[in-house]
Structure 1
Amino acid sequence: MSTTKWVIDPTHSEIGFKVKHMMFTNVSGKFTKFDASIETEGDDFENAKIHFTGDVESIDTGNNDRDGHLRSADFFDAAQYPEIKFEATSFTKKDEGEYTLKGDLTLHGTTKPVTLDAEFSGQMKDPWGNTKAGFGLNGKINRKDWGLNWNSALETGGVLVAEEVRLVIELQFIKQ
């Protein structure tokens, strides 16, 4: 069985997240600079080797002041920890088109295991003859597990920024 390499198509991929603000609305953001690759045996994605890196400086929530705060030592500390990394430890099929992706997420100088739900959208050729594969990933992490502890108490009780971060990721890969 031969090894197949897949590289990310960044123009058709998005690394997004949502966090509750003031305990009742979501703020969405994304990373605009990232890289990812997959190595498979043939065209079967089960047990694939998956690698991801993201540029912390590229965080974008649609608000320059908030993005600057997120890059600061209060949150990501981009100067000291400029990169987010993910290395898959397993990619196992649950059902048709449904997988569980487990791996190690390195963020803010800390590496911890995470589990994400993965939906495999399938493969197809684009108009230029490239074989593409699509995936949707969803999951939750607690930002405090990676030392992102900053918060502010609200007068009405509760906190300004939730601990739970929902990951919403859409990926398209190109077969090499």
Structure 2
Amino acid sequence: MTSTLDPSHGELLLTTGVTGPASAVGHRLTIAMTDWQATVTWSGDQPSAVELTVEVDSLQVVRGDGGVKDLSGVEKSLARSNALKTLDAKRFPQIRFSADQIVTAIDGGYQLNGTLDIHGTSRPRSVDLRVKDLGSAWRMTCDASVSHAEFGVKPYSLMMGAVKVADEVVVSFRAEHPKG
């Protein structure tokens, strides 16, 4: 049996940091990935595999925190364009996480062990997924850090490197799925 989650069930957000000598003028971005699908394969009442596929072009800049002034609509569009170039979205249109081993030994959820594919590079990855029984539905949450450098992605910078996106990006997943 399989079940599927998509943006109608929750959200997949990225949060960037900012670094460099002039980092005070930069914004920490919150980015929504608006086109994704997670498929869970079940063995009885336990998940046995998870596949998450994210369409890179669905990246939308939601807000920018910090900086000298608020992030304008034009700046959000420019940040989106720069992120798509950085990720080479035309050449690598999807990000994938495939968990082929699920360990149930963690408190409050599952450890998903598998492979993360970004920008044409695959790396082993373990992710802790917290699961809460809401009665009629399951709530799933996960926060994980991903390094640009680990996947051969050069973070965007400006002002000759005086302001640049930090190497670590925090990925946050929140979803609810009805039981049955």
Q: TM-score range by the shorter chain?
A: 0.7 to 0.9
1:110 and 2:115 correspond: no
Task: Report if the CA contact (8 A) 2:155-2:167 is conserved.
Answer: no
The answer for unaligned runs of 5 or more in structure 1 is 126-131
- What TM-score results when the alignment is normalised by the length of structure 1? 0.80
Pairwise CA distance, 1:122: 2.1
- Kindly provide the CA deviation profile for residues 111-158 of structure 1, in whole angstroms up to 9, marking residues without a partner as x: 111222210112643xxxxxx432101111111111111343768x96
Q: Distance in 2 between matches of 1:20 and 1:141?
A: 12
Q: Distance in 2 between matches of 1:9 and 1:58?
A: 13
Aligned length: 162
Sequence identity, in percent? 22
Q: Distance in 2 between matches of 1:84 and 1:9?
A: 15
Q: In the TM superposition, what are the counterparts of 1:1-176 in structure 2 within 5 Å?
A: 4-22=1-19, 26-45=28-47, 48-62=48-62, 63-72=76-85, 75-122=86-133, 124-125=135-136, 132-152=137-157, 159-174=163-178
Task: Report if the CA contact (8 A) 1:5-1:39 is conserved.
Answer: yes
Task: Report if the CA contact (8 A) 2:148-2:155 is conserved.
Answer: no
Q: Distance in 1 between matches of 2:138 and 2:117?
A: 25
The answer for unaligned runs of 5 or more in structure 2 is 63-75
RMSD of aligned alpha carbons: 2.3
Alpha-carbon distance change, 123 to 38 in structure 1, aligned in 2, over 3 angstroms: farther
Q: Distance in 1 between matches of 2:144 and 2:50?
A: 16
- What TM-score results when the alignment is normalised by the length of structure 2? 0.79
Task: Report if the CA contact (8 A) 1:31-1:58 is conserved.
Answer: yes
Pairwise CA distance, 1:83: 0.8
